[in-house]
Chain A
Amino acid sequence: MSPEIIFDPYTSLYSEASGLMRSSAVRDLMSVIGRADVISFGGGLPFIGGLPPEDIRGVMSSVLEKGLNEAFQYGETEGREELKSALVEVMAEEGVRANPEHILVTTGSQQALDLLGRIFIDRGDTIALEGPSYLGALTAFVPNGPDILTVHLDQEGMPVDVLEQELDRRKGAKPKFIYVVPNFHNPAGVTMTKERRVRLLALAEARDLLIIEDNPYGLLRFEGEGAPPLAAIDSKHVVYLGTLSKIVSPGIRTGWVFGPAPIIDRLATLKQSADLCSSSLNQMFAEEYIRQGLWHKNIENLKPIYRSRRDAMLRALEKNFPEGSRWTSPQGGLFIWVTLPAFLDTEKMLPLAINQKVAYVPGTAFYADGSGANQMRLNFSYADEDLIAEGIKRLGKVIRKEIELYHSLGLDKG
């Protein structure tokens, strides 16, 4: 019918699991948003413009002083001792008491998600996820063929009573794990209340369930009072995922898992086949960066920037988005989650937006159960205040035009 066709002569060779991988037209459209003139709220890119080059240079030369042999050689699969000790310090900042033996360093926390999916999920196993859920977790878990129980979020995070009812309803099918992002949820922007955290842990205790707590943004609270991580309240039923991507840099690909010893051990065995060990050079950079206390400095730099960008986005949304839209007001993190009038479809609307030089991620990408058609994720960490104002203005116009079209076709009811 027209230009591009990708034929694949190796089709008969691929595994069934690779066939479950999620791929979509959206991914291809997104390649346009790398263009300078497109204002992108699509990616989850942290602001790295505030990292002072002289700090980085200082850390780098300390690393090299320690010796090339360490930095350019294979290291332990579990990760460097020095880094693990530094990560204990990072977790302590949020009240999580860990020790280095219970930590596995991973190549970004995305690797942790991949490894967890593979050690826990057999085809047909139940896992419980939030709706919406982190996209990277979905792509990591789905190829293992789980039966996904989606618990829809509200303003206070995952409603534990709904989870409980769902579990009752599915008697036999106890989930292998419950995956949650309690702080400044990606994409939903909401934070789970202390009460719910305690209830979720109590449920895990009562029913012997495992919780995977993913906490990439906890330290990026720029206003209000937070609740402690689940792992700080009671770490017995929790596998905790941390990352330096948002507080140092995503380019150094350094994340970690803190959890019960047998699980760490099983993950390490699998990591051995995945990549033997994470980059020694990057680990040394990370441990030195933390040792010098630069992470505190970076976080304190980022907070006012992110707060100001969030404010700019909230103001612009208020001004430009049509009646019947609503959105979250996160007190930290990187994302605002927008819900548009129910009849709209953000995936269908995306090309229109990209043609108007603005981009977002459509809501359906974040659900395993097909919901989210009228929702979108907006990132506020990457573009500056002026671009945010302009981009949201463009997006508001796109949405109004789309509504007009639905109206003229009589499809603006439901």
Chain B
Amino acid sequence: MKPKIAVLMGGRSLERSVSLKSGRRVARALKERDYPVLELDVDESLVPTLMSEKPDLVFISLHGKGGEDGTVQELLEILGIPYTGPGPLPSIIGFNKVLSKELFLANGIPTPRYYTVSSSTLEEMGASNLLPVAWEKLGSPVVVKPAAQGSALGVKIVEELAGLGTALIEALAYDDRVVMEEFISGTEIAVSVIGDDQPEALPAVEVVPESGFFDFDARYTVGKTEYFVPARLSDKVAAEASRLALEAHRLLRCKDLSRVDMIIRDDQPYVLELNISPGMTETSLLPLAAEAAGMDFSDLVERLVGLALS
């Protein structure tokens, strides 16, 4: 009998709809390979259901808060049920751009320079007076993003200081803390890392948004984004990107899986962030990269199951 697998999806995260797409696709692939599958849209019945159903494995197809930030991983640790992807610590760090960037910087992984503000420093310490200083130090334009949020929701490229305030307000609707980052113009790529003791980097996927900026609309609006896999990089740059992805993966103590997003300027990759629960939809980056490495979607899903059970 194959192990019984609960696929966790949906939930109340702002990335719910993408998560449902990922989860249903994963569940379908597992059923095709004859695994007994339990599809769970995460709500307050989650823990009781897991306790009574006792699955052998949980496949995490959650994106955003609750599923990608370590919360669900912590629950599964208590329940003692194995699950796909990294554990609580890398999840907590990966989902928080401030923590992960600090770690990258401390360990020599290039990442764009940044400052951070929170709603409380703005409201209680008059931090708004610092905005022109930060602006001056970072140089324009500045990228404003919520410290913890996926799908580029709430992300804005700000060209003028006058627009910084409203961009902060927009980002603060997603998270109490906001990152203001130096804008690096270059080639956007994502490198997925998969494996246990000897993780390997899959071929890089290059993303080319028509608007020049990869915001939510570029992601979701018909005809606004092109991609290349493998990315159009020289062997040397591709190797350096893979090396940095593996280093970020190890540094955050990731297990089995991660996707590292980077931007390349003058042949130098800069790590923007690390995702522990990458999208698994028909057009997501990880499945595209796996395909380029000769793994079809069901192979990829089964590989992740195998890694989690080993």
Beyond the given pairs A37-B43, A348-B166, 17 more chain A to chain B contacts, judged by CB atoms under 8 angstroms and listed by A's residue number, are A1-B152, A3-B151, A5-B283, A7-B225, A7-B226, A8-B223, A25-B216, A28-B17, A32-B12, A345-B166, A345-B169, A352-B173, A354-B14, A404-B123, A405-B123, A409-B165, A410-B128
Shortest C-beta distance, A156 to chain B (Å), equals 34
Question: Which bracket fits the contact residues of A?
Answer: 35 or more
Could you give 24 example pairs across A and B, Cβ below 8 Å?
A1-B155, A3-B15, A3-B18, A3-B64, A3-B68, A3-B277, A3-B278, A4-B15, A5-B214, A5-B283, A6-B220, A7-B225, A11-B222, A14-B223, A28-B14, A28-B220, A35-B16, A35-B43, A38-B12, A348-B166, A352-B173, A355-B14, A405-B169, A408-B127
Shortest C-beta distance, A87 to chain B (Å), equals 37
Any A CB within 8 A of the CB of B261: yes
Docked pose: A409 CA to B278 CA in angstroms? 35
389-414 of chain A: CB within 8 A of chain B? 402, 404-406, 408-411
Docked pose: A5 CA to B12 CA in angstroms? 20
Q: A409's contact among B16, B168, B226, B285, by CB below 8 Å, is which?
A: B168
Any A CB within 8 A of the CB of B217: yes
Contact, CB under 8 Å: B221 / A23:
yes
Contact, CB under 8 Å: A411 / B165:
yes
Docked pose: A214 CA to B90 CA in angstroms? 55
Any A CB within 8 A of the CB of B154: yes
Any A CB within 8 A of the CB of B207: yes
Contact, CB under 8 Å: A11 / B223:
yes
146-166 of chain A: CB within 8 A of chain B? none
Q: B153's contact among A351, A405, A409, by CB below 8 Å, is which?
A: A351
Shortest C-beta distance, A24 to chain B (Å), equals 8
Contact, CB under 8 Å: B15 / A349:
no
Docked pose: A35 CA to B13 CA in angstroms? 10
Contact, CB under 8 Å: A405 / B119:
yes
Shortest C-beta distance, A407 to chain B (Å), equals 8
Q: A410's contact among B63, B153, B165, by CB below 8 Å, is which?
A: B165
Q: Mark B230-262, 1 if CB is under 8 A from A, else 0.
A: 000000000000000000000000000000010
A2-B152, A8-B223, A411-B165 known; A348+B173 contact, CB < 8 A: yes
Docked pose: A402 CA to B43 CA in angstroms? 28
Measuring CB to CB, which residues of chain B are less than 8 angstroms from any residue of chain A?
12-18, 20, 43-44, 63-64, 68, 119, 122-123, 126-128, 150-155, 165-166, 168-170, 172-174, 188, 207, 214, 216-217, 219-223, 225-227, 261, 272-273, 275, 277-279, 281, 283-285, 288
Shortest C-beta distance, A128 to chain B (Å), equals 28
Q: B12's contact among A2, A3, A37, A408, by CB below 8 Å, is which?
A: A37
Contact, CB under 8 Å: B220 / A29:
no
Shortest C-beta distance, A370 to chain B (Å), equals 15
Q: Mark A15-49, 1 if CB is under 8 A from B, else 0.
A: 00011000111001101100111100000000000
Docked pose: A14 CA to B216 CA in angstroms? 21
- Closest 3 pairs between A and B when the two form their complex, measured CB to CB: A11-B223, A31-B17, A352-B173
Q: B281's contact among A6, A350, A355, by CB below 8 Å, is which?
A: A6
Docked pose: A32 CA to B288 CA in angstroms? 27
Q: B172's contact among A2, A7, A23, A405, by CB below 8 Å, is which?
A: A405
Q: Mark A353-380, 1 if CB is under 8 A from B, else 0.
A: 0110100000000000000000000000
